[in-house]
Amino acid sequence: MAQWPLHHRVFLGLLVAGLLLQGLGLRVPAAGGWRAEVKAMGAERSLHPASWPSFLGLESLGASQEPLQIPRNGSAPLLVAVEVFVSNVFNVDILRYTVSSVLLLRMSWLDPRLAWNETVHPRRAFTLPWDSIWTPGLTIQEALWVDWRDQSPRARVAPDGNVELYLALTTETNCDFELLRFPRDLSDCSLSFYALSNSVMELEFQAQAVNEVVSVKREYVLQDLKTQIPPQQLVPCFRVTLSLQNTALKAVLSLLVPGEALLLADVCGGLLPLSAAERLGYKMTLLLGYLVFHSSLVQALPSSSSCNPLLIYYFTVLLLLLILSTMETVLLAGLWAHDRQGARGSPSPAPRGEEHRDHGDSGPPQDQEGRGGEGKGTGRSRAEVADSIFFRVYVVGVVCSQALFAGIWMWVVCKSDPAPGKAAPHGGQPRL
């Protein structure tokens, strides 16, 4: 077999060596500068200094230190100013304790490595790919999922090295709703942003929030917006708090109005005479209807380990009142029927002649047959007297229960139990 020329074998050896170096991920000189492969947040980020302006001198920078490292600010931490623009809050789910929101983050910081002489190179600003320079990596602690709207944002760099980066996102987060006064509840939902790749000695946030929600046609309205820097943290963080107010219209129409209507119908059912056969059927129908309503109510109202909604206790009291009213009707209707049968078995001992003079040959009238065992001169049976007394007491009890609930709604305060993580903040010492 013919031997290869010497220069072919030398070229092949150099080609194999270059491929091995690239496979090991080492830095390889290139015509337009250098190229490095860096893994961050589970994904590979490619740096292309060839796309940077040549007057920045970043080729010499790459030889001295990594451009993805945080810029140095002497002995003080790097200050990153963050503005959070909240443009929408939707999908407030009190059963799952979640809320979705649309945010825009504007972050700015000073990176002296990106500064240039504006008199020599008269250019006001330029943009760079976000993965070609250092940017703070943010993680939302309460987030279930985060959808970054722009997968390849670009950072704007000014001549003095000031960097601006805009990030648009949609996220669904957990929220500890305060539902004691549902449906007039006011809850604070927090979004905690952490920079887990840096320490508080390297990075510091200065945050503010802007409410840009323009639509009010929703069940929950954003009433207030606050930002704070949580103390005693090992990693840099800032927190945005959304104050959400329930408009209550849907819950009032679907829960309170049907419940009050059933209670009023039950009170009106007490006006029917005890002897009417329709009264017992009326009461039973109301009770069965409320049981169906109560079962759907349990699914519509959220439950919590502490400070459950007052409506849960309110509708439970209504159920007990309806059960008590139905039991009273059943018991007194049975007593009335027993008294009526006793009156038929024990006719009045009046003289026969006097009886014939008063009533002829027709026998005792029907209304007097049903009043055996009644008190003298009362004209009413024992069951009817008890039913009249119970009706008055029941109406007073219903009115008092409504007034008591109104007072509890206005004055009672419930403080939720502290979360287990409150005792040990993020990065704190775990307790065994």
In tens, the pLDDT along 361-375 reads: 444 444 444 434 444
Contact 36, 59 (CB under 8 A): no
- Write out the DSSP string of 163-194: EEEEEEEEEEEE-----TTTTS-EEEEEEEEE
**φ, ψ for residue 183 (rounded to 5)?**
-100, 15
What would the mean pLDDT of 155-183 be, rounded to a whole number? 94
Q: What is the pLDDT of residues 287-323, one digit of tens each?
A: 999 998 888 888 888 877 778 899 989 999 999 999 9
pLDDT number for residue 420: 67
Region 11-28 average pLDDT: 44
Q: What is the pLDDT of residue 13?
A: 55
CA-nearest of 232, 209, 211, 231 to 222 is: 211
Give percent of the chain with pLDDT exceeding 90: 46
> What is the three-class DSSP state of 234?
coil
Model pLDDT for residues 395-404, shown as the tens digit of each residue: 999 999 999 9
**What are the φ and ψ backbone dihedral angles of 45, each rounded to 5 degrees?**
-115, 130
Distance of CA 23 to the CA centre of its chain: 48
* Predicted local distance difference test score (pLDDT) of residue 35: 31
Supply the angle between the helices 382-411 and 310-345 in degrees, to the nearest 10: 170
Q: How confident is the model at residue 386 (pLDDT cuts 50, 70, 90)?
A: very high
Chain-centroid distance, C-alpha 179: 10
Tokens at residue 220, please?
Answer: 């929950």
pLDDT of residue 355 exceeding 60, the answer is no
The residue assigned the tokens 């451009």 is 67
Report the chain's mean pLDDT, rounded to a whole number: 79
**What was the pLDDT predicted at 380?**
77
Give me the pLDDT at residue 323, please: 95
Cβ-in-10-Å burial (0-12, 13-18, 19+) of 101 comes to buried
Is the per-residue pLDDT at 124 higher than 90?
no
- Pick from 259, 256, 284, 260: nearest CA to 272: 284
As a whole number, mean pLDDT of residues 51-67 equals 51
Contact 322, 286 (CB under 8 A): yes
Structure tokens at 234: 């090992």
Four-residue CA torsion sign, 203, 204, 206, 207: positive
**Rg of the chain over all Cα atoms, to the nearest angstrom:** 40
Residue 253, CA distances (Å) to 183, 220, 249, 260, 302 in order = 11, 16, 6, 11, 17
Q: Which amino acid is residue 255, in one-letter code?
A: L
Euclidean distance between CA atoms 18 and 211, whole angstroms: 54
Q: pLDDT of 261-276, one tens digit each? A: 999 999 999 999 988 8
Residue 46 near residue 171, CB atoms below 8 Å: no
pLDDT at 68: 74
How big is the chain, counted in residues? 432
pTM over cut 0.85: no
pLDDT at 117 over 80: yes
Rounded to an integer, the average pLDDT of 38-57 is: 44
Taken in order of first residue, the domains within the chain and their CATH numbers are 72-247 (2.70.170.10), 251-345+367-411 (1.20.58)
Q: Residue 288's pLDDT is what?
A: 93
**Percent of the chain topping pLDDT 70:** 73
Which of 197, 209, 125, 199 lies closest to 164, judged by CA? 125
Token pair of 242, please? Answer: 């959304």
* Residue 52 banded pLDDT, cuts 50, 70, 90: low
Q: What is the pLDDT of residues 402-428, one digit of tens each?
A: 999 999 999 988 887 776 666 555 545
Sign of CA dihedral 81, 85, 90, 93: positive
pLDDT score, position 9: 52
Burial classification of residue 275, based on how many CB atoms lie within 10 Å of its CB (0-12 exposed, 13-18 middle, 19 or more buried): middle
Q: Which residues contact 305 (CB under 8 A, 6 or more apart)?
A: 417
Question: Is 90 exceeded by the pLDDT of residue 353?
Answer: no
Residue 290 parent element (H or E) = helix 277-300
pLDDT greater than 70 at residue 55: no
